[in-house]
Amino acid sequence: MEMTTLKKALQDHYGIDVLRLQPMEGYDSTNYKIIASDRNYVAKLYDASQGDQGEILAENRLMSLLSQSDLFSKKYEFSTPIASLDQGELVLIKSEQKWLRLLTYVEGNFLAQTDKNDGLLSSLGSFLGQIDLVLSEIRDPYIESRRLSWDHAHLLNNEHYISAIKDPSKRKLVAYFLVQWKTHVIDQLPFLRRQIVHNDANDHNVLEQNGLVSGLIDFGDMVYSYLINEVAVSAAYMAMGKEKPIEAITQMISAYHKVFPLQKNEIDLLYYFIATRLCTSVLNSAHSAAQKPDSAYITVSESDAWSLLEKWISINPIYAQQKWRVAIGLEIPEEQELQQQEEHLRQRRDQTMSKALSLSYRRPIHMKQAAFQYMYDASGHAILDAYNNIIQVGHCHPTVVRAGQKAMAELNTNTRYIYEALPRYTEHLLKYFPDHLDKVFLVNSGSAASDLATRLALTHTGREQMIVLEHGYHGNTQIGIDISHYKYGHKGGKGKKNKIFQTPLPDAYRGKYQGSDAGAKYANDLIKALSSKRVHDIAAFIAEPIVGCGGQVPLADGYLKEVYPHIRQMGGLCISDEVQTGFGRLGKWFWGFEMHDVQPDIVILGKPIGNGHPMAAVVTTSAIAESFDNGMEFFSSFGGNPVSCAIGDAVLQVIEDEGLQAHAHETGDYLIGLFKSMQSTYPCIGDIRGSGLFLGVDIVKDKDQKTPNEDLAIHIINSLREGHILTSLDGPYHNVIKVKPPLCFNKRDALVLTRAIKNAIDGYI
């Protein structure tokens, strides 16, 4: 519309002498600030072809009602409608087919321009409580029939916009909170109070003067919906940029509650309402930006919303619930009560479970939920997970969760039937392997995979002898224990069986040979030993590329390059156990055998393959697979079922889409750099080893002598636990800190981890 047309309409229908027009942004209307000779106004133009104007007139009625309410005692100012000269609430500009609506212009500073201190947040809470108290007595059919995507009642209408978010690391945050909404909130919605709410008290709609809220504008998102929407919407914007967002929101809630009491079920769901309001904001921003790429209004809060969403996953929902329950005068469990609950759970566990299943830490952790690189305990702490390498792509990753949910709702059966999920997954998986490794056996655990890999080797070669590494670990089945020095050679183990040939761990840091030629020397020793008459029926050599239970020890450079050809020359097979090192964790290499520039005959997969779902695999050659097809059927009741295949395929897809292998490489190099910079200050750090996000930090008493320091290592691990960071210890001296987090672990997390380790060392007495 030309400015002259609007000026003429304002003069003809309102008698306003317009001095200047200033365009203002908006979603569903074209807006102008009108600077007139008597005062300022807001003109809003709507497409007249969009049907009934009942909703606009309903907004007018509600704005007028609030303005006239005695409850506000003239403390606050609202945008209110101005009648035309003929007392109409809307004017039709026929030449443009636009409805013209005129409102008062509310003076003041937007909250977006303030620091949102505690006093202002309390003022806002009180203000919103008063508004909702008035609105609770009002019913309006036009507002109640409204269906807006910005209303939590219709939250999932926004879900299809998720493809407009191009950054996969951001897209997964939104998807995660939508999954959590479906998990924790949807079933509770029928029990929440509903009424008319403003639904958009963001920091560009609320005004302040002299440090207190003074007014509210833009009633275009008013809906009949959940009362807690009002608090959630405003809280989402007030928390942006806050170092402690939960505490900031608490100020607002406390003041709101004093005016209009909130209920426990509303408070307990508020964490998710706030998160999904942020999701609604970024989803609509992404979608609208594609339609109006030059609109600053659409994206005005986008970066702040993303920052708060990223911070939100580092906040335990229980912590937020506890803070907000206290704010409305509800009791929460005291620490002593929580400890009693944990002890009771532990007693129940002991009554039904063997104590052979150990618990981590001197004070075990009662876990409740998790998100990506964080786990949430029952006390309200968010715990940074630098340890659980089973969770390859992140705890509760929405892509993996949804794949499992969908598959479970459709079909779950076994490999005796034909279904699409099985070949789709195995074809996808084999793309990551050399061409000669072209057959897949799917099972349920790394232990079952190790067991099967051993059986494949014994059957194919017709031999019985297995060569294993000192400190190696390959599973909890009887065969797995037989080939695991970590089990048979330690407490409770029955020692090495006759058909097991054990060779030293080729450790270039603390082993017999050190330096750049250590690998060749270790390999030469093994080859000499194998030349003895007593070693003549080798079935296979099995090794992890980096020996986790040995203390995250990479096999010395060149070792496998020498050993693999000799094993094959003697008629044996080469097995690479990739249960811990596979699927891009090493950063530079997708599989551990690639770091040693060798190609195995059999590969064992487990742990991260299903991101925590119980599945595993053995990948081998056609020839080995054919020899195993000897008349004795191999069958795994659950191996290769449609649900597991869907989950495994989703894990691979996430690794690809989010570039997690490259991320592991970059973050791992950064973390190694941080650890190395610590070595000059902390001589107790003897060695930093590994690759990507599979690292070991060797804690010593004396750097030159490399004397292990188990006591300090235990102190560090427990100190990190008290600081809400998960790591663990391993190695024959129990002195190596294992760092093997979910691959979404980032540089910011690396700084948190290394600073905590520094503090732990500094505090060691």
Q: Say yes or no to pLDDT of 139 above 80.
A: yes
Residue with tokens 């505690």: 118
What does residue 176 show for φ and ψ, rounded to 5 degrees? Answer: -60, -50
First to last CA, the chain: 76
Displacement of CA 90 from its chain's centroid (Å): 49
Share of the chain above pLDDT 90, in %: 83
Alpha-carbon distance values, 393 to 228, 238, 374, 616, 693 (Å): 33, 32, 12, 16, 12
Give the whole-angstrom CA distance, residue 566 versus residue 528: 11
pLDDT of residue 567: 96
pLDDT of residue 472: 97
pLDDT of residue 299: 57
The residues that bridge with 619 in the sheet, in sequence order, are: 440, 603
Q: Say yes or no to pLDDT of 298 above 60.
A: no
Q: Are the CB atoms for 130 and 259 separated by under 8 Å? A: yes
One-letter-per-residue 3-state SS of 185-228? HHHHHHHCCEEEECCCCCCCCEEEECCEEEEECCCCCCEEEECH
Alpha-carbon distance values, 395 to 368, 398, 605, 715 (Å): 12, 9, 19, 27
Mean pLDDT of the chain: 94
Q: How confident is the model at residue 437 (pLDDT cuts 50, 70, 90)?
A: very high
Q: Are the CB atoms for 561 and 365 separated by under 8 Å? A: no
Give the whole-angstrom CA distance, residue 655 versus residue 168: 11
Q: Say yes or no to pLDDT of 100 above 60.
A: yes
Q: Say yes or no to pLDDT of 581 above 70.
A: yes
pLDDT of residue 533: 64
pLDDT of residue 295: 57
73 versus 744: which is more confidently predicted? 744
For the domain covering 3-104, report its CATH number.
Answer: 3.30.200.20
* pTM of the predicted protein model: 0.94
Fold of domain 369-392+660-762: Aspartate Aminotransferase, domain 1 (3.90.1150)
Nearest-CA neighbor of 731 among 706, 756, 710, 760? 710
Calculate mean pLDDT across residues 527-547: 90
Q: How confident is the model at residue 253 (pLDDT cuts 50, 70, 90)?
A: very high
Encode burial over 496-534: b for 16+ CB neighbours within 10 A, e otherwise: eeeebbbbebbbbbbbebeeeebbbbbbbebbeebeeee
Calculate mean pLDDT across residues 528-555: 91
Give the whole-angstrom CA distance, residue 746 versus residue 670: 9
pLDDT of residue 28: 75
Q: Please state whether beta strands 212-216 and 77-78 pair in parallel, antiparallel, or not at all (unpaired).
A: parallel
In 572-627, at which residue ranges do the beta strands (DSSP E only) sit?
A: 573-577, 602-605, 616-620
Share of the chain above pLDDT 70, in %: 97
Calculate mean pLDDT across residues 28-37: 88
Local structure of 587: helix, strand or coil: coil
Fold of domain 110-327: Aminoglycoside 3'-phosphotransferase; Chain: A, domain 2 (3.90.1200)
pLDDT of residue 315: 98
Q: How confident is the model at residue 296 (pLDDT cuts 50, 70, 90)?
A: low
pLDDT of residue 371: 98
Q: Say yes or no to pLDDT of 753 above 90.
A: yes
Alpha helix (H) ranges present in 366-420?
A: 398-410
Q: Are the CB atoms for 546 and 585 separated by under 8 Å? A: no
Q: Say yes or no to pLDDT of 293 above 70.
A: no
What does residue 541 show for φ and ψ, rounded to 5 degrees? Answer: -110, 125
Q: Are the CB atoms for 195 and 132 separated by under 8 Å? A: yes
Q: How confident is the model at residue 12 (pLDDT cuts 50, 70, 90)?
A: confident
pLDDT in tens, 374-432: 999 999 999 999 999 999 999 999 999 999 999 999 999 999 999 999 999 999 999 99
Q: How confident is the model at residue 765 (pLDDT cuts 50, 70, 90)?
A: low
Q: How confident is the model at residue 49 (pLDDT cuts 50, 70, 90)?
A: confident
pLDDT of residue 300: 60
Nearest-CA neighbor of 235 among 207, 186, 282, 202? 202
Q: Are the CB atoms for 256 and 329 separated by under 8 Å? A: no
Give the whole-angstrom CA distance, residue 171 versus residue 161: 10
CATH of 446-605, one of 3.40.640.10, 3.40.50.620, 3.40.50.1980, 3.30.300.30: 3.40.640.10
Q: Are the CB atoms for 255 and 126 separated by under 8 Å? A: yes
pLDDT in tens, 399-411: 999 999 999 999 9
- Identity of the residue numbered 709: N
Mean pLDDT is lowest, of 450-459, 611-620, 697-706, for 697-706
Q: Are the CB atoms for 619 and 603 separated by under 8 Å? A: yes
DSSP 8-66: HHHHHHH---EEEEEEE--SSSEEEEEEESS-EEEEEEEEGGG---HHHHHHHHHHHHH
pLDDT in tens, 713-746: 999 999 999 999 999 999 999 999 999 999 999 9
Alpha helix (H) ranges present in 300-364?
A: 302-312, 317-327, 335-352
Nearest-CA neighbor of 457 among 603, 617, 607? 603
C-beta atoms surrounding 88 within 10 Å: 11
Q: How confident is the model at residue 74 (pLDDT cuts 50, 70, 90)?
A: confident
Query: Per-domain residue ranges for the chain?
Result: 3-104, 110-327, 337-364, 369-392+660-762, 446-605
pLDDT of residue 4: 85
How are the residues of the chain apportioned to helix, strand and coil, as percentages rounded to the nearest 5?
45, 20, 40
